[in-house]
Amino acid sequence: MTIWETIGKIYESTIFVYGLILLTTYALLAIFSFIAVRAYARKDKFHEPDVLMSSPLAPGVTVLAPAFNEGLTIIFNVRSLLTLNYTNYEIIIVNDGSTDDSLEQLINEFELVPVDFAYNAKIQTKPVRRIYKSSNPAYAKLMVIDKVNGKSKADAVNAGINAAAHPHFVCTDVDCIRIKTPSRN
C-alpha cells in the first residue's frame, strides 16, 4: 500500500466519521425539538385566550360602528357585536343621519332612552342630535349616537371617538357580522 492510498483511506474515513457525527447530531436535535414542542403544547393548554381576554387588567376598548340606512340588518348585527368575548368594552353605534327606520328599530329593540351625556367635541363633526343608552342592564355596554349626516364615514367615527370612554378603539361597519368560532379543547 502506497502512501497515497493510506492518505486516501484516512481521508475517506474522516469524511465518513464527520458525516456520521453530523447526521447523529441532526437526529438528536430533531428528537429533542419534538420533545420540547410536545412539552410546550401540554403546558400551553393552561394559557387559554379566554382567561387572558376576561382579565380585569385588560385595557378598555371602544368598538365604533357607524350606521347609515342599515334597517334590514341592524338588530342582528348589533346583537352580534354585543357578544364580544372581552371584559372591558363598550359598543358605540353612530346613526349617521339614516333616512330609514334604523334608529327606531334600535330604540325599540334595545330599550334605548335619551340620556344627558357630557359629549366633549374634541374632534369637530356634524351636530349630534341625541345620545341613547339602554334602560335594560343587559345592554349596558351599548350606546347609540344620533347625528346629522356628515357625508362620510370619518365624520361618524369622529363623533364616536368624542363619546368613547376608553382610550383604545376599533372601528368596524355595523354590517360586519361576527361569527362565533368554536373554542379549542
| pLDDT band per the 50, 70, 90 thresholds, residue 41 | confident
Confidence of residue 49 (pLDDT cuts 50, 70, 90): low
Predicted confidence (pLDDT) at residue 163 exceeds the cutoff of 80: yes
User: What is the C-alpha radius of gyration for the chain, rounded to an integer number of angstroms?
Assistant: 30
- What is the rounded average pLDDT for all residues in the chain? 87
**Span 54-171: which CATH code?**
3.90.550.10
Per-residue pLDDT of 95-124, as tens digits, reads 998 999 999 999 999 999 999 887 778 888
With 0-12 CB in 10 A as exposed, 13-18 as middle and 19+ as buried, what is 160?
buried
Q: Where are the alpha helices (DSSP H) in 45-178?
A: 49-53, 74-81, 102-109, 153-163
pLDDT tens digits for 129-152?
A: 999 999 999 999 999 999 999 888
Pairing of strands 61-67, 128-134: unpaired
HSE at residue 144, side-chain half, CA atoms within 13 A, is: 30
Q: Bridge partners of 96?
A: 147
Instruction: Give counts: helices (H), strands (E), the chain.
Output: 5, 6
Domain spans, the chain? 1-47, 54-171
pLDDT bin (cut points 50, 70, 90) of residue 161 is very high
What pLDDT is attached to residue 175? Answer: 75
Cell readout for 46 is 393552561
Provide the 3-class DSSP secondary structure of residue 70. coil
CB atoms within 10 A of CB 174: 23
Burial class (CB in 10 A: 0-12, 13-18, 19+), 150: buried
